[in-house]
Amino acid sequence: MPCSLSGNNQAMCLFRRSPAPLLLFSVLALVPKAALSQAPSPWQSSGIRVTVDRVNVGVIVTDARGQFFTGLRREDFHVLDNGMEQPITDFLSTDEPAQVLLLVEAGPAVYLLQGGHLRAVFTLLEGLSAGDRVAIAGYDESTKPILDFTADKNAAAVALDQLRFNLGVGQLNLASSVVQALDWLARVPGKKSLVLLSTGVDTSPSAAWENLLSRVKTTDVRVLAVSLGAELRSARPADKKRVKKDQVSPDKSQAAAEGFAQADEQLRALAVATGGRVYFPANPNDFRATFAEIAQLLRHEYDLAFTPPARDAKLHTIEVHVALRSNSADSSVLPPAFHVDHRRAYLAPEPSPN
């Protein structure tokens, strides 16, 4: 069926229906770092240290059937800092707009994919609330901003079509790119989520990965990781030449399997540390279902805040519990039947100077 819309809506429709294949590649060959472009990026602020007198905690609540639970009030939540309950100073319900950064791997490749993973993002844009704002960036050797935050979903769809997939650069610096994205989001108020489309392949130095793991333990940004690895594992080479099984080196097959397993674990670690989720879609239908669920998750997030009880510059653990009280005279607490996803820790502020 042809698009019958006009203006930006027509652009959004054409983006969804476009048959043109998009290239997304995994890394099998690396180039020297000195050969890479060193163009400055507005996101280059990885030295940011965020320690404020307010701790934001995004919370997703699902019931025993996995359904999102709405209508909760401030008094239904209990926040613990290192095991001690803290007063909730601020509370935003699920109706408050979300800030969503979409970060897409855009590196080199040896496989030709049909681009279903990217066109399926339309399902995410379509499922967001009118007030939700979206920003878009790509990454390979560094993060490349494409669209600043906007509530215009049509503009976001057009911006996605501007992503370019490099064919001659072999670096996929996942860790350092995510840190750049978190630095940017640290300056964005409200409920924040990073939707990461990535194979999980990372050519960053080991120190960059350690820095990222430390950072995600304390960020107030929820990471929702969507793996592209399943498509790469099942994809055929661009020339569609069949390679006989006995021509495939067992060592290379084992190394590839271990590489993908490590990539999957890296994506899972990023999501779990932030109270997020990781998805492993294997085909265009899976991608559409994944983005539909992410849109619903973003529309069902509560945002709580409390004041740090101590200024000790230490890592503090966070726990969030939900307990609904009945209307009976004894105000007994109803049996818990909720699953609560939230960030696990924060870094307390420095002690006040004397």
Residues β-bridged to residue 46: none
Residue 54 has pLDDT above 60, yes or no: yes
CA distance 92 to 351: 29
The angle that helices 7-17 and 153-160 make with each other, rounded to 10 degrees, is 40
pLDDT of residue 172: 83
CA distance 234 to 239: 15
Look at residue 306 and tell me if it is in a domain.
yes
Residue 6 has pLDDT above 50, yes or no: no
pLDDT digits (tens, 9 = 90+) for 70-112: 888 999 999 999 999 999 999 988 878 889 999 988 876 533 4
Name residues whose C-beta falls within 8 Å of residue 96's C-beta, 6 or more positions apart in sequence: 190, 191, 303
% of the chain beyond a pLDDT of 90: 26
Residue 163 has pLDDT above 80, yes or no: no
- Residues 325 and 281 both lie in one domain: no
Calculate the alpha carbon distances from 229 to 2, 171, 201, 234, 261 in Å.
32, 17, 9, 9, 9
pLDDT of residue 122: 86
Name residues whose C-beta falls within 8 Å of residue 350's C-beta, 6 or more positions apart in sequence: 51, 311, 313
Number of helices and strands (H, E) in the chain?
A: 9, 14
Residue 62 has pLDDT above 80, yes or no: yes
Look at residue 313 and tell me if it is in a domain.
yes
CA distance 203 to 182: 19
Query: Domain residues for 323?
Result: 55-93+302-347
- Residues 110 and 225 both lie in one domain: yes
pLDDT of residue 150: 93
Look at residue 23 and tell me if it is in a domain.
no
**How many structural domains comprise the chain?**
2
Look at residue 34 and tell me if it is in a domain.
no
- Residues 224 and 117 both lie in one domain: yes
- Token representation of residue 217: 């333990």
Per mean pLDDT, which range of 59-63, 65-69, 89-93, 104-108 is the poorest?
104-108
**Are 158 and 11 contacting, i.e. CB atoms less than 8 angstroms apart?**
yes
Residue 166 pLDDT class (50, 70, 90 cuts): low
Residue 20 pLDDT class (50, 70, 90 cuts): very low
Higher pLDDT, 149 or 32: 149
Look at residue 28 and tell me if it is in a domain.
no
- Residues 190 and 282 both lie in one domain: yes
Look at residue 69 and tell me if it is in a domain.
yes
- Residues 70 and 136 both lie in one domain: no
**Are 136 and 80 contacting, i.e. CB atoms less than 8 angstroms apart?**
no
Look at residue 222 and tell me if it is in a domain.
yes
Look at residue 155 and tell me if it is in a domain.
yes
- Token representation of residue 305: 């805040």
DSSP, res 241: -
pLDDT of residue 251: 56
